[in-house]
Amino acid sequence: MASNAPGLPTVAIITTGGTIASKPSATAGGVTPALSGEALLATVPGLASMAAVALQPLADIDSSQMTPEIWARLSQAADAALARDDIVGAVITHGTDTMAEGAYFLDVSLQSDKPVVFTGAMNNAAAINPDGPANIVDAVTQVLSENARDWGVTVTLNHYVNSARHVRKTRTTNVQTFMSGDAGYLGYIAGG
């Protein structure tokens, strides 16, 4: 599915589930993926004025259920999208539990050198303060930025940009969870 935004660059957005697309579930206990790709993108203010979107739902799972086989499919889907001349880069929404591993997998397996940004959320979509929409805006901003070229695959949450080679999740509840240790951040996104 592609959104119709004439004159705007096109960004591929590949969704895989995770907290960013989850809501509380009385039957399952805790939160479970509940938003389709379209419903997730509908929560992102201003997205339609930033870029055209080529949406590709790939999975709808908690990232604890991710496997190398799913990441291989994700890598193939990203390469296929990035091979299109009209696609300038890709955003991958992913659960945070295995996001660092998934980003590293794609960093070493992708054939394209177009920007690829993993993003997600620490707060679910029904929380009083969901962080997913702002993280998607930051990820699309990064894909579109000339200042963010040749960084390989990155993980971008809470405004901070981390290299897939160094990133790790450090907290289970804080929105500032991803850090890159002594390597530091690649960048910071503020106000677009």
Q: Which residues are catalytic?
A: 19
Q: Under a CB-based contact definition with an 8 Å cutoff, are residues 117 and 91 in contact?
A: yes
User: Exposed, middle or buried: residue 174 (CB in 10 Å: 0-12, 13-18, 19+)?
Assistant: exposed
DSSP secondary structure string, 40-96? Answer: HHHTSTTHHHH-EEEEEEEEEE-GGG--HHHHHHHHHHHHHHHTSTTEEEEEEE--S
